[in-house]
Amino acid sequence: MFDLTHKTVVVAGGGRGIGRAASLRCASYGATVAVLDIDQQAAQGTVDDILAGNGKASALRCDITSRANVREVIDHIAKRCDRIDVLFNSVGLTRLGTIDEISDEDFDFVLDVNLKGAFVISSEIVKRMKATGGGRIIHCASYCGVKEEYANAAYCAAKAGLIMLTRVMALEMGEHNISAVAISPGNIETELLDQAFRRRAEMENVDVSEIYERAAKRVPLRRLGTVDDIANLVAFLSSDASFYINGENIMMTGGYVMN
């Protein structure tokens, strides 16, 4: 249990999966959570569950690849809260295909959402944090940012870029009392993973259960991760207890990939 009372936590991509679990966990530890998602209904679903548990939260539709939209949403949050203490950026997606198959459009799209979007939202939020005495940035990268994965070049490249973006942000913003970290989950059971595994099963012409079994077997702990595993890490990284961890990429893969 970490004390997040009096903290405002912005979760981008909080409508589903890891972002949703992290929003619920942070709210249960006392944070006021702004749940942002391109899918307004999904964001509202997370908020309804937080409110049902007597937590504090609001839902906002936000496409993190649009500077104008991000600015408008962050302005709105800043007017209602004195400060933004934490950004957890959980937005991410992939399009599978080998280098000779993937289209320019898919490559650009994956880079835009995973890397450019992360840059856009965190750059807007650090401007606020600088003016209010500091804060914490947490980007959700992936083990794919440090380990090559077949038919996943755009995503691997984007996540590697995100890990480096986080390091530079930590270097530049430290003097403003802003610390930045990346987290790199292994395979975590979510909709995004299921879509990727189904596509992989199609490509290999095998049943999707085989892809799941193979993935679990590769992990020393012999299971895929859960969104709760990652939510625990996000709550810790959102708390004052972890603030001095700065610029790191924290792996959470059950030992599948070790730094």
Ligand X SMILES: NC(=O)c1ccc[n+]([C@@H]2O[C@H](COP(=O)([O-])OP(=O)(O)OC[C@H]3O[C@@H](n4cnc5c(N)ncnc54)[C@H](O)[C@@H]3O)[C@@H](O)[C@H]2O)c1
> Which residues contact ligand X by CB under 6 A?
12-13, 15-19, 37-39, 42, 62-65, 90-93, 113, 117, 140, 142, 185, 187-188, 190-193
CB closer to ligand X, 55 vs 225: 225
CB closer to ligand X, 42 vs 50: 42
Query: Rounded CA gap, 247 and 231, in Å?
Result: 19
Q: Residue 251: beta bridge partners?
A: 184
CB closer to ligand X, 71 vs 130: 71
How many CA atoms are closer than 13 Å to the CA of 150, on its beta-carbon side? 5
Task: Provide the minimum distance between the beta carbon of 20 and ligand X in the complex, in angstroms, as a whole number.
Answer: 7
Any idea of the CA torsion for 64, 69, 70, 73, to the nearest 10 degrees? -130
52 Cβ partners below 8 Å, 6+ apart?
none
Task: Provide the minimum distance between the beta carbon of 15 and ligand X in the complex, in angstroms, as a whole number.
Answer: 4
Query: Rounded CA gap, 238 and 164, in Å?
Result: 20
Task: Provide the minimum distance between the beta carbon of 199 and ligand X in the complex, in angstroms, as a whole number.
Answer: 13
Residue carrying structure tokens 């799209």: 109
Active site residue 29: no
CB closer to ligand X, 187 vs 246: 187
Long-range contacts of 49-57 (CB under 8 A, 24+ apart): 49/24, 50/23, 50/24, 53/24, 53/27, 53/28, 55/24, 55/27, 55/28, 56/27, 56/31, 56/32, 57/23, 57/27, 57/32, 57/33
CB closer to ligand X, 179 vs 190: 190
DSSP state of 187: S
Task: Provide the minimum distance between the beta carbon of 71 and ligand X in the complex, in angstroms, as a whole number.
Answer: 14
Of the residues 29, 155, 212, 256, only one is catalytic, namely 155
204 Cβ partners below 8 Å, 6+ apart?
211
Task: Provide the minimum distance between the beta carbon of 90 and ligand X in the complex, in angstroms, as a whole number.
Answer: 4
Q: CA nearest 90: which of 31, 25, 18, 24?
A: 18
Q: Which residues are catalytic?
A: 155
